[in-house]
Amino acid sequence: MNKPTKKAGIPRHVAFIPDGNGRWAEKHGLPRVEGHRAGVRNIRRILEYLGERGVEYATLYAFSTENWNRPDDEVNDLFNLLVEVVGKEARELHKNGVKIRHIGRLEGLPGEVKKSVAEAVKLTENNKRMTLGVALNYGGRAEIRDAMRRIASEKIAPGDIDEELIGRYLYTAGFPDVDLMVRTSGEMRTSNFLIWQSAYCEYYFTPVLWPDFDEKELKKALLAYRQRQRRFGGRQSQVHA
């Protein structure tokens, strides 16, 4: 990555629902796992583009708590692919100063996946150029439920519970709220992803399948973001840049 240049109207935190890998594979007459492989290859160029424009945080929806409902063969292929690429990609991201954070539950994941994720997090923990959240075995409702259970277990007085405190108990503790959420493949729903953190974000839906979502398409998403008025519940006259 080149030295980032922060520009006006650039979101601080961009979240992605990288949908369409399976359909991309079917379109090209390939097994579904090859679509997921193509999707993984796409991540690095997207992060490079974001980093060059000064985006500080990106979060990717890698595997949801609902994805366990997919056929066993596809789930196993996904986990084998994760083990294969996490180490390689982590080393490349480390060279570029990217810090990797796991977002979700490690419990229930195969041992090799947990090991790969833990090693990637450890390798990059001191990097400061950009933070990448990898939402793996993640669900927005499960995240809020886990936060509530932790708060209750620590016997925090109800009067002391506010939004700031809840934020410190979420998987994304330390992340800013999402500014822009991008979903590829034409689906227009958020699928239980960062539902607390995206309360005031801007959404961008595109029919482009994730493996084909390149720098040109990302530029369109960032341009759409710049053209919107973010009001956070107020009137336009009350919003200040």
Average pLDDT, the chain: 91
pLDDT-based confidence at 84, cuts 50/70/90? confident
Q: Return the pLDDT at 185.
A: 97
Alpha carbon 85 to chain centroid distance? 17
Fold adopted by 13-143+178-226: Undecaprenyl pyrophosphate synthetase (3.40.1180)
pLDDT in tens, 50-80: 999 999 999 999 989 888 988 888 888 888 8
Q: Is the pLDDT of residue 167 over 70?
A: yes
pLDDT-based confidence at 234, cuts 50/70/90? low
Q: Is the pLDDT of residue 2 over 90?
A: no
Q: Return the pLDDT at 235.
A: 57
Residues recognised as catalytic: 19, 67
Q: Which long-range contacts (CB under 8 A, 24 or more apart) does 113-121 make?
A: 113/79, 113/82, 113/83, 116/82, 116/83, 116/86, 116/87, 117/86, 119/86, 119/87, 119/90, 120/86, 120/87, 120/89, 120/90
Tokens of 139: 């669900």
CB atoms within 10 A of CB 114: 17
For the chain, what are the domain ranges? 13-143+178-226
C-alpha to C-alpha distance for 147 and 178, rounded to whole angstroms: 18
Q: What is the mean pLDDT of residues 152-175?
A: 97
